[in-house]
Structure 1
Amino acid sequence: MRVCSYKGFSLVILLRDEHCPPHVHVDASTWSARFKFSFWHNGVELWDVIPHARRPPVAVLEGLRQTLRQSAHLRRARGIWWNKLQTVCLDRQLWDWQNNEVVVVKQIASSTRMIDSACYEPLENKTRLTLMGTMEGVEIEL
């Protein structure tokens, strides 16, 4: 499903055989790229370009990334992803209460808890986390 476009390139979420992490696809005639987005922060990053030898100019990739970062486009991408897959790809990851972030490669500290479940609320543009070992959850306004 089309999320948005940039200079004739469509940023889309595939509705079949999609997988974590949340991402959009851009397919051109000689290359394709994927950009990751998140349900716990508003950053967007280039994931990969195939084939590597035929990469478009850096300015095109950055333009695509910045377009997806726009609030309305990111919100649409999250809504499409959530409605189709019913996951925000955060289950069983660690949440650091102190730094308000998902812990990827870090020692477990007293401020970290495993995410038991997570859901996205498209109308409110919020992610809610249920953490193991605590009654208190986390609400992330995006």
Structure 2
Amino acid sequence: MKVCKHDGLVLAVLTRDEHCPPHVHVGPAEWSARFKFSFWHNSVCLWDVVPVRSKPSVKVLEGLRQALMKPAHLRKAREAWWSAIQTMCLEDLQWDVHLQEVVSSKARRAGAVNIQSASFDAVRYHAILRLKGQAESLEIGL
């Protein structure tokens, strides 16, 4: 599903055989890049580029990252990912109550609570985390 276009390159969420973490694909025939995004914060980062020998310039990659970070484009990426994949990829992770962030369950931080399930409300544009031992869900407005 097309998310946006930047300098003639299409950023898209693929809808077949996809895997965590949430990401978009972009690239011409010479190279392919993936950018990770999240359902609990608004930053985007470059995941990888293949083949490395054909990697575009840092300026091109940063332009693509900035394009995806635009609120309308990030929203479209989240909606496309959720519609096709139906996961926020937060299984087996924890929510650090003090730092207000997702952490690895291997980190064993004091104040971190297991995420039992997570869903995305596209209408309200909220991530909803159900935390172990918590009566109420945690809602994160994006």
What TM-score, normalized by structure 2, do the two folds share? 0.96
Match of 1:23 in 2: 23
Which runs of 5 or more residues in structure 2 are unaligned? none
Any residues of structure 2 matched to 1:8-19 within 5 Å, and which?
8-19=8-19
Aligned 8 A contact 1:92 1:117 in 2: no
Aligned residue for 1:21, secondary structure, equals coil
Match of 2:140 in 1: 140
Structure 1 residues 87-113: Cα deviation after superposition (integer angstroms, max 9, x where no partner)? 11112211001111001363321x110
Structure 1 residues 102-129: Cα deviation after superposition (integer angstroms, max 9, x where no partner)? 01363321x1100000001111111000
Cα distance in 1 for residues equivalent to 2:91 and 2:135: 17
Match of 1:34 in 2: 34
Cα distance in 1 for residues equivalent to 2:19 and 2:108: 27
Cα distance in 2 for residues equivalent to 1:68 and 1:96: 27
Fraction of identical pairs, as percent: 52
Cα distance in 2 for residues equivalent to 1:128 and 1:116: 11
Q: Name the count of aligned residue pairs.
A: 141
Aligned residue for 1:82, secondary structure, equals helix
Cα distance in 2 for residues equivalent to 1:39 and 1:51: 28
Shift of 1:133: 1.6
Shift of 1:81: 0.5
Match of 2:74 in 1: 74
Shift >6 Å, 4+ stretches: none
Match of 1:94 in 2: 94
